[in-house]
């Protein structure tokens, strides 16, 4: 079990403390529970879906990398599949505030990168900021998404984001977590192909500038992330952050990254290159490739 979970586990109900260790034993526990594991935990603890998500918040918050704020936020996203995905805030010392990943973004992007097709609820230990409310509005679940907060009655995103402006106002038909394939041909080595595949999945209906990042770790594992745009522009999540989020939640360190690749359009209206290079260099990775797509 990862050391960061030890203190958090002690905060959980006794029944959950007894049930979780076998699931957390792997140092690279994927920070998610499958639908079958969720049902097993519910049967062992007597908790329902919402109560289980609330109880697991300390574990999610333990995944935070809050080197700037020292303020850990945890979130859990429940998919239509029944899977439960962890999320936590991520900050990058040596980079800029704009590169930060909020806990709700983390859980949602985590679910997306794992192949989830839609979300039923997001449970978080602090009230979602406006940035995150707008990010959630990009989802195919829309304002019906259930938001669970400790000590509050269940509410929907529509309750937290009244009179919202989002993709539906701009006649966007393919929403975040919908299946998407931009049709770029896979080419090059495994890392390059992973970056292109991530670009193919990206959600970029406003700039029409899909992009994907792939990270090769020292052990040979490749982790990728796709670009997620937002109707309000600023809450958009860069592809590098999507990849770093999955890397961190899976128990790897930034020092494990030995090579990175960014795939993006050659003539796009915007580029991820400069921000990707700056953040990766701040994290100690200097072996970065750019794959230009036609």
Positions marked active-site: 104
Contact 157, 136 (CB under 8 A): yes
Radius of gyration of the chain (CA): 18
**Contacts of residue 134, Cβ cutoff 8 Å, sequence gap at least 6:** 161, 164, 166, 230, 231, 232, 235
Contact 106, 249 (CB under 8 A): yes
**Contacts of residue 273, Cβ cutoff 8 Å, sequence gap at least 6:** 262, 264, 290
Candidates 99, 22, 30; CA nearest to 63 is: 30
The whole-angstrom separation of Cα 191 and Cα 27 is 24
Residue 136 tokens read as: 């959630």
Q: What's phi and psi for 26, nearest 5 deg?
A: -70, 130
Candidates 190, 280, 282; CA nearest to 243 is: 280
Q: What's phi and psi for 38, nearest 5 deg?
A: -60, -45
Residue 167 tokens read as: 């993709």
DSSP E strands in 100-200: the ranges are 119-124, 146-148, 155-156
């Amino acid at each position: 079990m990862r050391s960061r979970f030890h203190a958090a586990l002690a905060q959980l109900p006794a029944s959950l403390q007894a049930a979780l260790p076998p699931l957390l034993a792997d140092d690279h526990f994927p920070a998610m529970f499958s639908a079958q594991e969720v049902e097993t935990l519910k049967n062992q603890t007597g908790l329902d879906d919402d109560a289980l998500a609330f109880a697991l918040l300390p574990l999610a918050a333990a995944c935070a990398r809050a080197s700037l704020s020292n303020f850990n936020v945890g979130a859990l996203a429940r998919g239509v599949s029944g899977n439960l995905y962890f999320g936590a805030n991520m900050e990058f010392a040596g980079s800029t505030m704009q590169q930060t990943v909020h806990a709700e973004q983390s859980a949602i992007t985590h679910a997306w990168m794992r192949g989830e097709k839609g979300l039923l609820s997001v449970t978080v230990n602090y009230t979602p900021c406006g940035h995150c409310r707008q990010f959630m509005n990009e989802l195919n679940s829309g304002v019906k998404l259930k938001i669970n907060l400790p000590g509050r009655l269940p509410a929907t995103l529509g309750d937290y984001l009244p009179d919202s402006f989002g993709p539906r106002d701009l006649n966007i038909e393919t929403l975040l977590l919908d299946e998407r394939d931009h049709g770029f041909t896979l080419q090059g080595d495994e890392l390059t192909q992973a970056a292109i595949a991530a670009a193919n999945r990206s959600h970029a209906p406003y700039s029409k500038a899909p992009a994907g990042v792939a990270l090769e770790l020292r052990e040979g594992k490749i982790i990728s992330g796709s670009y997620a745009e937002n109707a309000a522009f600023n809450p958009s999540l860069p592809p590098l952050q999507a990849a770093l989020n999955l890397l961190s939640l899976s128990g790897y360190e930034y020092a494990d990254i030995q090579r990175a690749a960014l795939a993006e359009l050659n003539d796009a209206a915007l580029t991820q290159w400069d921000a990707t290079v700056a953040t990766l260099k701040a994290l100690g990775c200097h072996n970065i490739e750019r794959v230009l797509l036609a």
